[in-house]
């Protein structure tokens, strides 16, 4: 019995150290002191989610927010008839589900793992306590929310006032800037993404996106390699929006 208890205690210590290691990599939490960080690590749940696994759906309780430790999570709006609009992708050290901080009301969006991921779940009330007791964390959180508000405003403007050619050109350049790897042909977007996902990001259809990509290829603005895209003429793409 003692050996079993000792092993369980050791495993608990190791899990806590692992959680603490992940939390220290999150820029949002950089203002927390060692004691606060240690206390937070004891109040969260670290878990793995598989590719295509849903973290939460519209209507689910808004009781927690999440940190991405590894992998990529997609945040999207989904209609009753299955249409989707991708709002954001969250990668390592980024936060999602933060709208629960408004009033804890049910989710209005869906969160889904786009690849095998590791996430940390933080109870809303626990995080609110840390916000109340740490001005630096509160300021960082305010700036993050303001930045995301600006991102959504720009997205709405793009969806309403721009055509598909313009929206897709801008999206490809944004992806090239974030995930780009230098290639002999140009900039390889090191991100496997389907035509449907591209369509969801710009509020279009898969057929329209496929047609527009074919037009870009004919104009030698890009080339493809399986599900990856290589931007070969970024200046000409930029001129389209």
Spell out the residues 6+ positions from residue 43 whose beta carbon is closer than 8 angstroms to its own. 122, 123, 126
pLDDT range class, residue 227, cuts 50, 70, 90? confident
pLDDT of residue 191: 84
- Mean pLDDT on 216-231: 91
Res 78 pLDDT > 70? yes
CA Rg value for the chain: 21
Q: Alpha helix (H) ranges present in 24-163?
A: 34-41, 100-103, 124-133, 135-161
Please tell me the distance from the alpha carbon of residue 67 to that of residue 73, in angstroms, as a whole number.
10
Question: How many other C-beta atoms are found inside a 10 Å radius of the C-beta of residue 205?
Answer: 15
Backbone angles phi, psi at 74, to 5 degrees: -100, 135
User: In angstroms, what CA-CA distances link 69 with 21, 31, 134?
Assistant: 10, 18, 23
pTM for the whole structure: 0.80
pLDDT of residue 84: 86
Please tell me the distance from the alpha carbon of residue 182 to that of residue 66, in angstroms, as a whole number.
32
Tokens 């939490």 locate to 29
Three-point CA angle 49, 188, 219, nearest 5°: 125
Q: Per residue in 10-45, pLDDT tens?
A: 344 567 888 999 999 999 998 899 999 999 999 999
Q: Per residue in 91-118, pLDDT tens?
A: 999 999 999 998 889 999 999 999 999 9
Q: Per residue in 146-176, pLDDT tens?
A: 999 998 898 888 888 999 999 999 999 999 9
Backbone angles phi, psi at 208, to 5 degrees: -65, -40
Question: How many other C-beta atoms are found inside a 10 Å radius of the C-beta of residue 23?
Answer: 22
């Amino acid at each position: 019995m003692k050996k079993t208890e000792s092993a369980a205690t050791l495993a608990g210590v190791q899990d806590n150290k692992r959680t603490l290691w992940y939390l220290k990599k999150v820029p949002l939490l950089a203002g927390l002191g060692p004691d606060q960080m240690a206390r937070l690590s004891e109040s969260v749940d670290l878990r793995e989610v598989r590719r295509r696994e849903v973290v939460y759906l519209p209507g689910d309780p808004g009781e927690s927010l999440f940190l991405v430790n590894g992998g990529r999570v997609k945040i999207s709006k989904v209609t009753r008839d299955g249409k989707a609009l991708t709002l954001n992708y969250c990668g390592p050290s980024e936060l999602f589900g933060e709208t629960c901080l408004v009033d804890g009301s049910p989710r209005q969006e869906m969160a889904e793992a786009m690849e095998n991921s590791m996430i940390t779940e933080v109870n809303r009330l626990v995080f609110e306590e840390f916000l109340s007791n740490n001005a630096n964390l509160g300021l960082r959180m305010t700036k993050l929310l303001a930045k995301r508000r600006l991102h959504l405003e720009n997205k709405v403007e793009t969806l309403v006032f721009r055509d598909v050619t313009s929206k897709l050109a801008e999206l490809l350049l944004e992806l090239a800037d974030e995930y780009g790897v230098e290639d002999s042909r140009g900039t390889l977007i090191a991100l496997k993404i389907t035509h449907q996902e591209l369509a969801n990001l710009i509020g279009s259809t898969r057929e329209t996106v496929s047609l527009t990509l074919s037009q870009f290829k004919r104009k030698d603005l890009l080339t493809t390699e399986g599900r990856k895209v290589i931007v070969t003429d970024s200046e000409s793409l930029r001129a389209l929006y």
